Amino acid sequence: MATRHQVRQAVVSLLYAHEMGSEMNEFKDEFLEEKKIRNERKMQALETFDAICLKKGELDEILKPYLKEKDIERIGIVELAILRLGVYEMKFTDTDKAVIINEAIELAKELGGDSAPKFINGVLDALKGEM
């Protein structure tokens, strides 16, 4: 069974593909199967992905005040996907905020640019007190 971390990796990858304009209907199932994310974890990944896509505007509005001088359109697609996932989990799940931030940092180390872990940690850490 896939771990929660693997589900988060998959959600970030799906969000990235969605932002890049990929046709998601076929891609989602194939991608999750390729990553061996099945059954309950597959449902979890798809529900999280769909919810983030649906609430993207709301999540971005929550993020904007914490981006300091960065314009949301200037943030890398991967980094923005990780931030949206983090904000979504803080707002709509019961997962401990420290776990959410740690997972986001790990995703940033794996998938983001060199400065991504520090940036994502700063934004989510500042935001956690407001959620």
Report the CATH number at residue 26: 1.10.940.10
In a domain, 131, yes or no: no
What is the 8-class DSSP label of residue 96?
A: -
| Structural domain for 90, as ranges | 4-126
Q: What is the pLDDT along the chain (131 residues), one digit of tens a residue?
A: 789 999 999 999 999 999 988 777 778 989 999 999 999 999 999 999 999 999 999 999 999 999 977 788 889 999 999 999 999 999 999 999 999 999 999 999 999 989 999 999 999 999 998 87
94: in domain:
yes
> d(Cα 18, Cα 35) in Å, to the nearest integer?
17
Spatial distance between the Cα atoms of 34 and 128, rounded to a whole number of angstroms: 34
113's CB contacts (< 8 A; 6+ apart) are 76, 78, 79
In the chain, the number of structural domains is: 1
